[in-house]
Amino acid sequence: MEDSDKKDGFSRRDFLKTTAAGVGLAMTTGKLFGRPFLLTGAGQGRTVMPSDELRVALIGAGEQGRVLLDCCLRIPGIKIAALADIWEYSRNYASGYLNKYGQTPHVYEDYKQLLNSEKDLDAVIIATPDWVHAEQANACLNHGLPVYCEKEMSNSLDQARTMVETARRTGRLLQIGHQRRSNPRYIHAIDKLLHERQIIGRVMIGYAQWNRARAEMLSWPKKYTIPSEILHRYGYNSMEEFRNWRWFKKYGGGPIVDLGSHQIDLFSWAFKANPKSVVASGGIDYYPQREWYDNVMVIYEYDTPTGAARAFYQVQTTTSHGGFYETFMGDNGSLVISEVPQRGDWAYREAHAPDWAPLVREGLIRSEAPPIQKVQTKNVFVDVRVPLRLAAGRCPLNWLNLPISHTLKTFLRPSGEGCRLTARLSWLMSRQWRCLKSMKRSGTMLILNSERKILKPEGHEIHEGRRI
C-alpha cells in the first residue's frame, strides 16, 4: 500500500471507522466548487490501492442522490457498490450513469434488502425524503455503518433525537449534509475573518435569503408511474405527493426547512449562540394546493458573547430576486458570502475601522476597489428611478410622486423646506451607496442627510480558504 494511502498504520478505512466527516467534506466541496477540490495538489492523480478502496452504498437515487454520486466519482478510491430507490426511473438513471464510469452497483428497490445483502460496505449515503431519514439512518448505524445523511435530519424532532442516540450507542459516525459547514470558503470567512481576525468588529446583524422563481409541481414520465400498491407500501398516498414531498407536511418541512436549514445555521455559527426568540410571518399565499408556507420571513434574537444580535431570514418561492446569499454586519464593516461566489464574496470596511492593508498583505483578502471617494452633500435627494438625473438642493416632501410620498411619510419628517432621513432608514447597506456623479444603477431610493459625508466603502474579495 502506498504511503499516501496509509501512514502510521492508519488507512482510509480506519479513518471512516473513526469519523464520517471526511466523506461528507469530500462530497460537499466537490459539488460546491464545480471541480474535485480534494484532488488538487499532492492528492491529484494518485492511485488508491484496492485494499483501501471504500465501498459505499447510496439509499435514495433521486435528484440530490445523483448530485452526490457525481461528487463521489470525483474522489479517488470510492466505489458505489450498491444503490436502492423505490422508483424504477431513479434506479435506472443512477445505475446507467455509474455504468458509464465503469462502476456496476447492485441495485435494490428496498434499502432493507440492500443492508441484508451487502456484507462488505464501508459507509452509506442517504438522500431520501426527510421523513424516512431516521428509520434508514438508524438501520445503517445499527449495521455498524457510518452514515452521511442529507439534511434535514427528520421532519420530526423526536425522530431526529433517535438518530443522535443511535449514533452515540453504536459508536458510528453520523454526518448531516449542511453544505456550508464544510465549505472551505465559509470556514475561512467565519472562523478566520469574523472570529479570529474580527475584521468587521462586533457582529451584530445577520441577513440571509433564498429566493426562487415561481415553479409548478414536479411531474414524471407516465410510463414510470409507481403502482399504487408500491406507493402505499412505502407510505406515499399518490405519485404527486411522492414527487413533490417537500410541500406536504407528512414528508417534509417546507421551503423554510428545505432551504433555510443551510443558512439559519450560519447565524448560530457566526454569533456563537443559538437564538433566544423568534418572530415569523408566512403563509400559503400563492400555491393553494400545497400544505406548507410558500413565503416566510423570520427575525431571530441572540445573546452572543459580545452582546445582543439579531438576524433576518427570508425564503421566497415566487421570485428569484437576489438569489441566495448571506450577509453579516458589524460595527467595523460587513461581509457578504454565497455558495456561488458571483453572488457574494466580498467584505466592506467602514471608514472609521482599522486599515485592512495588513490582511491584504497576509493574503486573507484582496483589494480590488478604487480609492475611497468623499462627497459632501447638503439636503441632497437622489431618485434612482431616473438614474441619470441628479436632483441636487432642497427637496420638499411633495416633490415626490404621490404613491412614494405616501409610503415614505412614516419614515420622513419635514426639515424646513427639505426632508431629513430618520434613524428608521439606517438599514441601507453600505454597498448600496454609489458615487453621486455616476448614479446609473436602479434600486432603492436613497435619501441622504444634510451635511453627511458619503463614503464609497472599500470592497474586498474573500480569498478561498486553504484549510479542509
Q: For residues 101 and 212, state if they share a domain.
A: no
Q: For residues 241 and 99, state if they share a domain.
A: no
Q: How far is the C-alpha of 133 from the C-alpha of 118, rounded, in Å?
A: 20
pLDDT, greater one: 232 or 391: 232
Residue 62: the pLDDT is 95
- What is the domain extent for residue 230? 202-330
Q: For residues 22 and 162, state if they share a domain.
A: yes
Number of H helices, E strands in the chain: 14, 23
pLDDT classification of 16: cutoffs 50, 70, 90: low
Does 29 map to a domain?
yes
Block residue for cell numbers 479517488: 76
- Geometric angle at alpha carbon 153, from 344 and 36, rounded to 5°: 45
pLDDT classification of 342: cutoffs 50, 70, 90: confident
At 425-454, the pLDDT tens digits run 322 333 333 333 333 333 333 333 222 222
Residue 22: the pLDDT is 37
Q: For residues 22 and 124, state if they share a domain.
A: yes
Q: How far is the C-alpha of 414 from the C-alpha of 286, rounded, in Å?
A: 39
pLDDT, greater one: 391 or 282: 282
Q: How far is the C-alpha of 91 from the C-alpha of 110, rounded, in Å?
A: 11
What SS3 state is found at 329?
A: strand
Q: For residues 141 and 12, state if they share a domain.
A: yes
Task: Give the mean pLDDT of the chain.
Answer: 76
C-alpha cell at position 79? 466505489
Does 364 map to a domain?
no
C-alpha cell at position 268? 448560530
Does 17 map to a domain?
yes
Q: For residues 152 and 210, state if they share a domain.
A: no
The burial of 97, by beta-carbon neighbours within 10 Å (0-12 exposed, 13-18 middle, 19 or more buried), is given as middle
80-84, 258-262, 371-375: least confident range: 371-375
Say if residues 436 and 375 touch (Cβ distance below 8 Å). Answer: yes
Residue 13: the pLDDT is 62
Q: For residues 306 and 427, state if they share a domain.
A: no
Amino acid, single-letter form, for residue 192: K
Max mean pLDDT among 175-184, 264-273, 452-461 falls in 264-273
- Geometric angle at alpha carbon 96, from 84 and 127, rounded to 5°: 35
Does 373 map to a domain?
no
pLDDT classification of 345: cutoffs 50, 70, 90: confident
Residue 367: the pLDDT is 73
C-alpha cell at position 355? 486599515
What SS3 state is found at 413?
A: strand
Q: For residues 132 and 220, state if they share a domain.
A: no
42-46, 63-67, 208-212: least confident range: 42-46
What percent of the chain has pLDDT above 90?
Answer: 59
φ/ψ of 107, rounded to 5, equals: -115, 135
Taken in order 206, 211, 217, 219, the sign of the CA dihedral is negative
Q: How far is the C-alpha of 422 from the C-alpha of 288, rounded, in Å?
A: 40
Taken in order 13, 17, 19, 24, the sign of the CA dihedral is positive
Say if residues 381 and 447 touch (Cβ distance below 8 Å). Answer: yes
**pTM value surpassing 0.85:** no
Cα 279 versus chain centre, distance:
21
Q: For residues 276 and 411, state if they share a domain.
A: no
pLDDT, greater one: 40 or 86: 86
Say if residues 108 and 116 touch (Cβ distance below 8 Å). Answer: no
Does 371 map to a domain?
no
CATH code, domain carrying 292: 3.30.360.10
Amino acid, single-letter form, for residue 22: G
At 219-231, the pLDDT tens digits run 999 999 999 999 9
Residue 178: the pLDDT is 85
Does 430 map to a domain?
yes
Q: For residues 169 and 259, state if they share a domain.
A: no
Residue 456: the pLDDT is 31
Dihedral angle of Cα 166, 168, 169, 174, to the nearest 10 degrees: 50
Say if residues 18 and 60 touch (Cβ distance below 8 Å). Answer: no
CATH code, domain carrying 139: 3.40.50.720
Closest alpha carbon to 23 in 173, 187, 132:
173
What SS3 state is found at 264?
A: helix
Say if residues 132 and 242 touch (Cβ distance below 8 Å). Answer: no
Does 279 map to a domain?
yes
Closest alpha carbon to 326 in 186, 187, 208, 181:
208
**Rounded mean pLDDT of 32-51?**
33
Q: For residues 435 and 313, state if they share a domain.
A: no
Amino acid, single-letter form, for residue 371: P
> What Å distances lie between residue 120 and 56, 143, 146, 203, CA to CA?
9, 11, 13, 48
Closest alpha carbon to 330 in 467, 190, 187, 223:
190
Does 353 map to a domain?
no
Q: How far is the C-alpha of 466 from the C-alpha of 36, rounded, in Å?
A: 14
The burial of 414, by beta-carbon neighbours within 10 Å (0-12 exposed, 13-18 middle, 19 or more buried), is given as exposed
Dihedral angle of Cα 145, 146, 147, 153, to the nearest 10 degrees: 110
Q: For residues 214 and 257, state if they share a domain.
A: yes
At 74-118, the pLDDT tens digits run 989 999 999 999 999 999 999 999 999 999 999 999 999 999 999
pLDDT, greater one: 371 or 419: 371
Residue 51: the pLDDT is 59
Pairing of strands 295-304, 275-283: antiparallel
11-25, 42-56, 189-203, 362-376: least confident range: 11-25
At 107-164, the pLDDT tens digits run 999 999 999 999 999 999 999 999 999 999 999 999 999 999 999 999 999 999 999 9
Name the domain count of the chain.
3
